[in-house]
Amino acid sequence: MGKYKDKNPLYFNRVRNQEELNHSKISRYSFLYYFFCIFAIELFIFLIMKVISLINMKGGVGKTTLSTNICHCLSKRYDKKVLLIDIDPQFNATQCLFTGNEYIKHLEEDKDTIVTVFEDKRKVANTVDGLSETKNKELKDIIPVHIKENFYILPGNLSLYRIEMAAGSGKENRLKKFIQELETKSNFDFVIIDTPPTPSIWMTSALIASDYYLIPVKPDPISYTGIDLLKTIVDDKKDAFDLKIKCIGLVFTIVERDDSIVYRSAVSKIEGGEWKSYKYRQYLPKRTDIAKFQLNKDFILNLNDSSLKTALVGIVEELIERIKKDEEK
Which tens digit of pLDDT belongs to each residue from 57-90?
888 889 999 999 999 999 999 999 999 999 999 9
Task: For residues 243 and 132, give the distance between their C-alpha atoms in angstroms, rounded to a whole number.
Answer: 39
| Together in a domain, 66 and 25 | no
- Say how far apart CA 51 and CA 175 lie, in whole Å: 11
Examine the domain organization and report whether 227 and 295 are in the same domain: yes
Q: What is the pTM of this model?
A: 0.82
- What CATH number should be reported for the domain holding residue 286? 3.40.50.300
In 124-210, where does DSSP find H-type helix? 174-185, 201-209
Whether residues 297 and 166 share a domain: the answer is yes
Task: Give the DSSP letter of residue 249.
Answer: E
Residue 10 counted as domain residue? yes
Name the pLDDT band for 47 (thresholds 50, 70, 90).
low
- Say if residue 76 is in the same domain as residue 216: yes
In a domain, residue 88? The reply is: yes
Does residue 36 register a pLDDT over 50? no
Domain co-membership, 113 together with 137: yes
| Average pLDDT rounded to a whole number, residues 245-265 | 91
Cα 259 from Cα 248, distance rounded (Å): 26
Structural domains of the chain, count: 2
Single-letter amino acid code for the residue at 78: Y
Q: For helices 201-209 and 174-185, what crossing angle results, to 10°? A: 30
**Mean of the per-residue pLDDT values for the chain?**
84
Based on the domain organization, do 17 and 104 belong to the same domain?
no
pLDDT more than 70, % of the chain? 79
Is the CB of residue 183 less than 8 Å from the CB of residue 177? no
Q: What is the pLDDT of residues 182-224, one digit of tens each?
A: 988 888 999 999 999 988 899 999 999 999 999 999 988 877 7
The average pLDDT across 139-152 equals 93
- For residues 59 and 205, membership in a common domain is answered with yes
> What's the pLDDT at 168?
58
Q: Are residues 309 and 166 in the same domain?
A: yes
Residue 16 CB partners (closer than 8 Å, separation 6+): none
In a domain, 66, yes or no: yes
Same domain, 28 and 65: no
For residues 12 and 71, state if they share a domain. Answer: no
222 with 110, same domain: the answer is yes
Range of the domain at 12: 2-37
44 within some domain: no
Q: What band does 22 get if pLDDT is binned at 50, 70 and 90?
A: low
